[in-house]
Amino acid sequence: MPATILDSHIFGDIFSTPAMRQVFSDGQRTACYLEIEAALARVQGRLGIIPMNAAREIESKCKIENIDLARLKQQTERIGYPILGVVQQIVAVCADGLGEWCHWGATTQDITDTATVMQIRAALDLVEADMEKIAAALAALARRYRLTPMAGRSNLQQAVPITFGFKAASLLAAFQRHRQRLAQLRPRVLVGEFAGAAGTLASLGADGLKVQSALMAELKLGQPEIAWHTVRDRIAEVGCFLGLLTGTLGKIAMDVKLMMQTEVAEVFEPFAQGRGSSSTMPQKRNPVSSLYIHANAALVRQHAAALLEAAVADHERSTGPWEIEWIALPEIFLLSAGALAQTRTVVEGLEVDSVRMRANLDITHGTIVSEAVMMGLGPHLGRQRAHDLVYDICREAVVTNTPLIDLLARNAEITKHLTRVELERMVDPAHYLGLAGEMVDRVLAIEDGARS
C-alpha cells in the first residue's frame, strides 16, 4: 500500500505526475538495466569479445517479461543491489549456458549509474516540455499586459509603478536562462558509466575502451573520459539545476499568493467549482496550486543539498553516499514535475484584474509616484531640497488622507515652477513606468528568436 505523498492514490497527482513516476518506477528502472545488458552483449559480440551466438541469445532474453520482480525484490534484499539478481535471472532463461557471457567485464555500479543517466535523460525531456509551456504562457501574459500599470512592491510596500507585463517578462527571462542551463548541462550529465571494478576496465584488457565507446553509442549517451564511480558532480548538477528551476516556480507561487489576498485581489488562480473553498467560510477562494508549488520547491532544495552530500564519496567505490542518490534523485524529479504541472495550471489560466491593479495604484493618493515628483522638482529646487519637501508633503497626505496632487498644487514653492496640469501628469502612475515596455520587448524578442 502506498505510504508516501508521492505514491499516494489520493495525493500523488497533486504533488507529482504519472509520467514522472513511470520514469522512476521499478519496472522502468529494471527495463533500463536490461537495455544496457542487451547493448553490452550486442557490442561485445560484434567486437568478438563474447561469442556471437551468446550475444544474440542474451539480447533476445533481456526483456522485462523475463524478470520476476517479486523474486528480484528477494534477491536485492539478500544481495544488497538489484543488478546481480537481474543478471542471474537472465542467465537462467538463456539456452545452452550462453547467458554466462552476460554482464561480461561490467560491475554493478556501471549498470546502475548508466541506468540512472538514462532515467535522467527521460525525466529532463518531461521537465523541458513543461518549461516550454510555462514560458509560452508567461510570454502571452507579458505581451498582453505589456503596459498595464500596477504597483511594484518593495518590502511588501508599494514602491513605484511597474507593469504586469514587466513582472511576467522578468519571470520569462528566468525561464530563458533555465533553458540555457538545461542545454549546457545535458552534454555533461548524459554520460554513461562502464569502467569495471575500480574504474580501470582491467577485466577487458586492451578492448575496454572499444567496448565502452560502442556501448555508449548504442545507448546514445556520452562516453566518459574517465570513470566517475565516486566523482558525482554530474548527478549533483542535475539536482542544483532543479533547485534553481523550482526556485523560480516558487517565486511565481509566492507572488500569486500575495496578489490573491483579499486586500490586493489583482490576480487569481484559475477558477473551478469548489476549488480553494473553505469548509467553514463559504466566501473564500484560497490559492491551491501555489501552495503545492511552494511546498514542492522547498523540498527540492533540500534534496539538492542531499545530492551535494552524496558527492563526498570515499575512494573508488563509496560506502553510503551513493545510496543517498537512490532516495533523493527520484524524489527531486517527482517533486519538480509536480511543481511544474501546478505552475502550468496557474500561468495558463491566470485571471488578471487590471482594473483592480489600477485602483490599488491610487490607494496611496498619489504618493506611489513621489519619486517622480521629486525627480521633476529636482532641476528647480535641487535634489535634496526636492526630496525633503516631497517627503514632508507625502507624510501630510498620509496623515490627512488628502490626494498628493492637491497638496502639491497648494505649495507655493512648487507652483513657482510647475502648473497643476504638469503636476497631474507627474503624479499619474501610467506616466512613470520607466522603460518597462522596452524591457518586455527585449525579453519577448529573445523568446520569439528561441521559437523561430
Q: For the domain that residue 139 is a member of, what is the CATH number?
A: 1.20.200.10
Phi–psi pair at 208, nearest 5 degrees: -55, -50
Chain centroid offset of residue 221 CA:
23
Residues 188 and 74 in one domain: no
Residue 52 and residue 44: Cα distance in Å, rounded? Answer: 8
- Both 102 and 119 in a single domain? no
Whether residue 125 is contained in a domain is answered as yes
The Cα–Cα gap between 42 and 59 comes to 7
CA distance 42 to 52: 8
371 within domain boundaries: yes
Record the pTM: 0.94
Answer with the one of 296, 324, 353 that is the final residue of a domain: 353
> Are residue 166 and residue 128 in the same domain, yes or no?
yes
Domain co-membership, 258 together with 330: yes
Inside any domain, residue 235:
yes
* Domain stops at, among 90, 106, 122: 106
Quote the pLDDT of residue 180: 98
Three-state SS annotation for 386-401: HHHHHHHHHHHHHHHC
User: What is the residue whose three cell numbers read 513516476?
Assistant: 21
Give yes or no: residues 130 and 255 share one domain: yes
- Whether residue 348 is found in the same domain as residue 247: yes
- Contact assessment for residue 373 and residue 404, using Cβ atoms and an 8 Å cutoff: yes
Residues 313 and 405 in one domain: no
Residue that terminates a domain, selected from 323, 353, 383: 353
pLDDT of residue 128: 98
In a domain, 218, yes or no: no
Could you tell me which of 381, 329, 393, 362 has the C-alpha nearest to residue 120? Answer: 329
Q: Check whether residue 167 and residue 149 sit in a common domain.
A: yes
Cβ neighbours around 265 below 10 Å, total: 15
Give, for all 452 residues of the chain, the pLDDT tens digit. 888 999 999 999 999 999 999 999 999 999 999 999 999 999 999 999 999 999 999 999 999 999 999 999 999 999 999 999 999 999 999 999 999 999 999 999 999 999 999 999 999 999 999 999 999 999 999 999 999 999 999 999 999 999 999 999 999 999 999 999 999 999 999 999 999 999 999 999 999 999 999 999 999 999 999 999 999 999 999 999 999 999 999 999 999 999 999 999 999 999 877 675 556 666 667 899 999 999 999 999 999 999 999 999 999 999 999 999 999 999 999 999 999 999 999 999 999 999 999 999 989 888 888 889 999 999 999 999 999 999 999 999 989 999 999 999 999 999 999 999 999 998 999 889 999 999 999 999 999 998 87
Residue 268 bridge partners (DSSP) = 351
**415 lies in the same domain as 296:** no
Catalytic residue among 121, 143, 181, 317: 317
Q: Are residues 72 and 159 in the same domain?
A: no
Same domain, 383 and 343: no
In the set 144, 278, 383, 395, the catalytic residue is: 278
Asked if residue 349 is part of any domain, the answer here is yes
Q: How many domains does the chain have?
A: 3
Evaluate whether residue 171 is within a structural domain: yes
Q: In this structure, what CATH number is given to the domain that contains residue 414?
A: 1.10.40.30
What's 38's domain CATH number?
Answer: 1.10.275.10
CA quadruple 206, 208, 212, 218: dihedral sign: positive
Q: Is residue 48 part of a domain?
A: yes
Does 83 map to a domain? yes
Q: What is the pLDDT of residue 284?
A: 64
Known catalytic residue: 278? yes
Domain shared by 168 and 305, yes or no = yes
Residue-number span of the structural domain to which 142 is assigned: 114-193+228-353
> Exposed (0-12), middle (13-18) or buried (19+): which is 278, by Cβ within 10 Å?
exposed
Whole-angstrom CA distances from 437 to 144, 148, 158, 340, 441 are 11, 10, 20, 28, 6
